[in-house]
Structure 1
Amino acid sequence: MSLVDDQVQRLDAILDRIQLARAAPPEAGAETEEREQQTQGEGGNENGAITAASSADSTHAAKLKTLIRALSTTASPRRLLRATRLREAIAQIPQSGDASASSINDEHELEWLAIGKAAIQVYGLILNVLLDQTIPLNDSIWYWDDVLGSYAYTGLYTLQVSPQKFWHSAKEVYADAKRRYRQNNLIRESAQEAGQTLSEGWREFYGLVQQSIEDRSLAHARTRILSPFALCRTEARHKQENVKKLREQSATAIGLLVEEGLTIQEDDPDSHKSWKNNVSKSIWLLEGITTHAQSVKSTWNEFEYDVIDMVDRGPTDQEPSQLVNRLLHILDVHIPEQERQSERMTKEFGKPSRWIRYWAPGLLLFLSSGTLLRIFVNRRAEIVTWVRELGATTIDFWYNWVIEPTKRLIGTIRHDENSELAVMSKDSLRSDRESLERMVIDFAVQNPENGTPYTESQVAELRSRVRQGDLTAVLKAYEKDIQSPARGAIFGNLVRALLIQVQKTKVDVEIAMNGIDSILKSQELLFGFVGLAPGMVVAILAFRWLSSTFGRRRGIQQMQQQGGSVRLLRNIDRTLSKATITQDGMLSYKDNGLLLCDVHVLRQTAIKLIPGKMHRDFIEDLNDLLQTRQGVERQLKVLQRIQWAYSKWLR
């Protein structure tokens, strides 16, 4: 909700509370009922006339109540009605007809209430129009500052406006030559000369054009002392001064509108009487602002004086019908004319249009379009192949480095057996250990140490030691046969003992691999994220680059918004510090209007920067900042609070 919506809603709520305060007490209903019962015994014709009048009165009152609801701020989510809808509603406000005195009085109050709500809507519409016209003027002032602050920008501006100046000069030369040609024709006709041929006419006209150019050159010989560069700087300075005047005048209009328009006070004991005069005076103020804002005054003080003088000379005891006509006249005549004049002055004094500023790059692009098209046609096959390969590479990268790692990561989280990391198979170690156990037991049973066969208990004990890695029975035989390797290899058990040790080494290696496998499984989720990270990083960087190149560049836009908010705070501080203080210690209308413009823009910017809960506090502080009746010192303190309390988001 904008600043204008808040202002309109506040005024509408005050008007509603005033009407509720003056509502009739409950006892009035009983007296009315008794009065109706006393009149029931009278003649039938009179009773029928009263019933018809009451029916007409109720229809009239119902229509007024419907219009009041339509003009209220609670009628729709939009606080302000559109200009066409508002005009239709105001034109439908009926006037009191022939009825009883009490009915006319009640309907008269409803008419005033409808006019008051209509005036509030027109007030908000004009305030919106003035804000929309004033705020963009800052861009024009900054543009002329750039042009005047740098010789490079001045040269660029000279190049940009050169076609426009040439066109205006050509039109003036053509108009002057045409005027001289018509004068010569009149002289010949008066002298009764014979007609000339077409070629002779064109030759004469061409000579007149040359003569006009020579005369213009002599007439502008004094200005030729200044270069086109200096003339453009003078022109830019003149336009900047007019834009500043237009901005100050519009700010004064906003200040007048906010400070003097619809200043309804609900705590006034005579508010039910004074608010009507206030509405009538405010309508004159609306008309005065829209009337005098159609031209640039020499100073903003002159504009302020003209508007206040018009309001003071206007009558305050007008009837509802006259006020309705004035509101319709404002909507039909003054607002459209003021918008047209403002657009004309902005176009005349503001920064040039885009056609003027970018005609040189556009012309260069147009002239080189043939070469660019020829290059595209000659290398069409290469470009198509490059685009196709780029698309295939992008798809493969997305699938192989983003989709597949993501699937494996999800499978790891869900303990999917197909996605588990493993260096070796599950049953490999178990089968090798059982094979080693059988080999050692068979070797020990076939080759007992003392020649005595092993008993069942000894075999069980031996099996237990082998499971713990004890191969003493095999190693003793190996140590015995290794003393005579050749004889042990042929007649002994050297080869068999050696192969058993190879199996033992294999089992040891598998045990170590199993430990590594356990470590991998314990960190399987981490490895899943590590596998997914490169693809995600590249994808995120690519998306950020694409969004920053072809999108709105939200990061840069946010930095620009923060920089703009700092500049707005600086403008507010500068306005309050250099303000023209009235005798009451308050801001002048011009400074108050400038403050309102900056606060309006700052409020819209803060919607994207400050979070929800803090944003409500921020709006409350901005409302405190706009309390001009508290004095400039209080406003500066509020500004300091805003600067330190919300610096996290505004800087």
Structure 2
Amino acid sequence: MITDSFVVQSIQEVTSNLEKSLQSLVFPDNESENVVNSSLGERNLEVLQNQLSEIKNLSENLCKQISGRKTYSNLNIDFGKIQEILLKIDELPKSSNYLQNIITAGISHYVLIICYYCLTNTLVNQLVRVNNVKSYYESVSSSKLYSLFYGLQILPSELYYGIKAVSNKIRSKVSDLKSVQTSLTLEDVKCIGTDIAKDIYPQFNKLLMVQSFKFVGLPRETTKKVQVLFSLPHIVLKNKLHNQLNLTDSIHERYLMKLGYLICNVQKSKEEKLLDAKLNYFKTFFEIDSNTNKTLSDIVKLTSNFKEANELTKIQKPSILVRIWPVTLLTLMYGPSSISSLWHNRIVIADFIRANLIEFVSGLLYNWIWQPLKQVWATVRHDENSSIAMMSQDTLPSELNSLNRMVVSLVSENSSSNIDVDSLVSQVEHGDLTQFMEIYENQLENPVKNIVTGKLIRSLLVQVQKTKVDGSLVLDGVDKMLKSQQLVFGVLALSPAIAIVYFGSVAACRLVKLGNIWSNIQTYKLAMIQSLNSTERLISLMEDTEVGQKAYYEQGLLTVELNILEKVGYILVEPERRKEWLRDITELGNLNNTTSLSLRIINRINRSYSKYL
């Protein structure tokens, strides 16, 4: 909260002032020591010491909670304990003893700082909540559809209170008539109905006049009368929303002034050491006459009850029951039949879920995540069995060996001299079939004869084998190229899995950080920009505003805007920069800043946190 740093600093200052004041009594002369001891009994001194220790522990506890908290929830303060401390001090005899006055003043300052923290923290949180309620009613009022749905939501409660009011009027009129006569006649009943209609009709005319500019009330023409009657629900809703917004605005503005008054007078006060001056500020805040005999204990009691007793608590959205009863009614009407239908079709539904959800997810995880990961890992560790290829791994060597044997056999049978087998095999492996082609050319000179004997057919089969080896060599080259790019293909196959893991992790982070898996970062950014803009505008306006109700209102509004800005920025900024963000907002909220300094701080925030805007 924006006042946290001031509260912590004030508690530290009170502790420091107490220590300095007590230092003057550490080594007193004998005469003053006797005066102290004679005027303040040992038992009373022990009571003061214990109460000072307890209130100091409460204050230091509050400082630790403020410094160590990670959320913006309200901190618990034991006001019952504070009341006990003040009661024990009040029971002590009044004395002009210097030591007693120092300790009593220190305890009072601690208590006032705690009350200040509780009041400002409660007001800021309640005012932010009222802002949201106001936005809710404004959005409902601006839309005809939302207005009608809002009317449907509040219809039962409005009918209940309306019928109750009419029945109370009927009872009162009946009791008045019975006091005059013993029984009611038909004419009496008609008179009661006429009187109630006369009470309602003027209000109806005023409603038409204000909301629809019908200055003469209900028109006489039948067509226009029907139109007005059909528009009556919308007119009533519009009037109700208008009244609710007016009430919200008036209470909101009044408590903004109260917040601004308390901050301006407590934090800007030049009379920091004057306890009575501070006490009067709290009396004015609670609208208590400064001349009345209200003590610090009364201020503490009012502060402890302020959270539930202030008028801001009256500003609420319709209750959850009011808002969900139409949906609940539809659920009760159609829910049982739907549940029965689901139960009878449970097997079909289970098969559908198994076929379209479970198998889909398992296939997705296995084929798009597990298998690509295995392929990438096998490629990185050079697993030969994992190579992608267009043919089998041993196809080329077997075909080449077969070609070698066929050529060597054919050349040996058709050669009159001995041949060098190793040289011939080497030539065949390098694609040189010169000796074989010479034999083939000789066979072509007598083709019919060689076909009949089968020699030419054998030569042709050798050439077919050579063609097959050449094709295998081409495919082997393609396989080598694929193998060299296997890691690329594995990463490409893994990219859908990477995308799934990335979006899943982002959704999980949003769920933890923002409470929603959908991206509402833009909503927070918009709120941050609006708060920064409002803060800069208010700082510029406050430069020319004199001390008074308007200044208090603007200060309260500025405090609320800074609190919203602090919370929104705390969500958007990385954890590593959150302390820096809180420091900058605390500097911006310093009441001793000049306008130019505050505007420079805003410019620094715009520059330093531009990527979050």
TM-score by length of 1: 0.75
Q: What is the letter of the counterpart of residue 471 of structure 1?
A: L
Partner of 2:520: helix, strand, or coil? Answer: helix
Question: Residues 461 and 160 (structure 1 numbering): CA distance in 2 closer, same or farther, change over 3 Å?
Answer: closer
Structure 2 residue 212 is the aligned partner of structure 1 residue 216: no
Residue 480 of structure 1: CA displacement? Answer: 1.0
Moved more, 367-376 or 244-253: 367-376
Sort the Cα spacing of 1:466 and 1:87 in 2 relative to 1 into closer, same or farther, 3 A.
same
Match of residue 14 from structure 1: 13
Identify the range of structure 1 (254-263 vs 376-385) with the bigger mean alpha-carbon deviation: 376-385
SS in structure 2 at match of 1:135: helix
In the alignment, which residue of structure 2 is the partner of 1:376? Answer: 342
Q: Is the 8 A contact 1:586 1:629 kept in 2?
A: no
Rounded Cα–Cα distance in structure 1 between residues aligned with 2:44 and 2:537: 60
Measured against aligned partners, the alpha-carbon deviations of 1:589-636 in whole angstroms (never above 9, x if no partner) come to: 110100110110111011121234554454344334324444445544
Q: Which aligned pairs between 1:267-286 and structure 2 lie closer than 5 A?
A: 275-277=272-274, 279-286=275-282
Amino acid at match of 1:575: L
Query: For 1:140 and 1:470, how far apart are their aligned partners in 2?
Result: 92
Counterpart residue identity of residue 564, structure 2: V
- Which segments of 5 or more consecutive residues in structure 2 lack a partner in the other structure? 209-231
Q: What are the within-5 Å matches in structure 2 for residues 211-610 of structure 1?
A: 212-225=192-205, 226=208, 227-261=232-266, 263=268, 275-277=272-274, 279-289=275-285, 291-292=286-287, 310-311=289-290, 313=291, 322-323=295-296, 325-332=297-304, 334-335=305-306, 338-339=309-310, 341-344=311-314, 346-347=315-316, 351-373=317-339, 375-377=341-343, 379-394=345-360, 395-448=362-415, 451-454=416-419, 458-491=420-453, 493-534=455-496, 552-576=515-539, 581-583=544-546, 588-610=551-573
**Is the Cα contact below 8 Å between 1:3 and 1:600 reproduced in 2?**
yes
Q: Within 2, Cα distance between the matches of 1:356 and 1:442?
A: 100
Tell me the equivalent position of 2:222.
none
Tell me if the contact between 1:257 and 1:286 (Cα under 8 Å) persists in the aligned partners: yes
- Cα-to-partner distance string for 1:440-461 (whole Å, 9 max, x where unaligned): 334434433xx3334xxx5444
User: Displacement, 1:570?
Assistant: 3.6
Q: Counterpart amino acid of 2:609?
A: Y
Residues 70 and 257 of structure 1: is their aligned pair in 2 closer, same or farther, counting only changes over 3 Å? same
Deviation at 1:583, TM superposition (A): 3.8
User: Post-superposition shift, 1:390?
Assistant: 3.0
Alpha-carbon distance, 1:184 to partner: 5.0
For residue 123 of structure 1, what is the amino acid of its counterpart? Answer: Y
SS at match of 2:572: coil
Quick one: which amino acid aligns to residue 338 of structure 1?
A: A
Is the 1:72–1:117 contact (alpha carbons within 8 Å) kept by the matching residues of 2? no
1:141-152 aligned within 5 A = 141-152=134-145
How far apart in 2 are the matches of 1:441 and 1:392?
61
Deviation at 1:171, TM superposition (A): 0.6
Deviation at residue 98 of structure 1 after TM alignment: 9.6
Quote the residue 1:300 is aligned against: none
Kept in 2: contact 1:481–1:494 (CA 8 A):
yes
CA distance in 1, matches of 2:189, 2:520: 53
2:53 maps to amino acid: K
Amino acid at match of 2:298: R
Contact 2:507–2:517 (Cα < 8 Å) also in 1: no
Query: Partner amino acid for 1:588?
Result: A
Is residue 24 of structure 1 aligned with residue 23 of structure 2? Answer: yes
Report whether the alignment pairs 1:122 with 2:141: no
Superposition deviation, residue 239 in structure 1: 2.6
Contact 1:287–1:330 at 8 Å: present in 2 too?
no
Corresponding position: 1:65 with 2:53 = yes
Q: Give the aligned CA root-mean-square deviation in angstroms.
A: 4.3
Consecutive unaligned residues of structure 1, counting only runs of 5 or more, are 40-48, 194-200, 266-273, 293-306
Equivalent position amino acid for 1:487 in 2? K
Give runs of aligned pairs for residues 193-208 of structure 1, distance below 5 A.
none
C-alpha separation in 1, matches of 2:507 and 2:608:
34
> Cα distance 1:420–1:114, how it changes in 2: closer, same or farther (>3 A)?
farther
Flag the 1:238–1:123 CA change in 2: closer, same or farther, 3 A.
same
Aligned-partner SS, 2:78: helix
Q: Structure 2: how far apart are the matches of 1:578 and 1:59? A: 51
Distance 2:425 2:545 in 1: 109
Q: TM-score, normalised by structure 2?
A: 0.79
> Shift in Å at residue 641 of structure 1?
4.6
CA distance in 1, matches of 2:202, 2:92: 76
Cα distance, 1:588 vs structure 2? 0.5
The answer on whether the counterparts of 1:585 and 1:632 sit within 8 Å (CA) in structure 2 is no
1:70 aligned partner, one-letter code: L
In structure 2, relative to structure 1, the CA distance for the partners of 1:493 and 1:158 (3 Å cut) is closer
Q: CA deviation at 1:107?
A: 5.8
Whether the 8 Å contact between 2:122 and 2:307 is mirrored in structure 1 is no
Range that drifts further, 3-12 or 248-257: 3-12
One-letter code aligned to 1:427: D
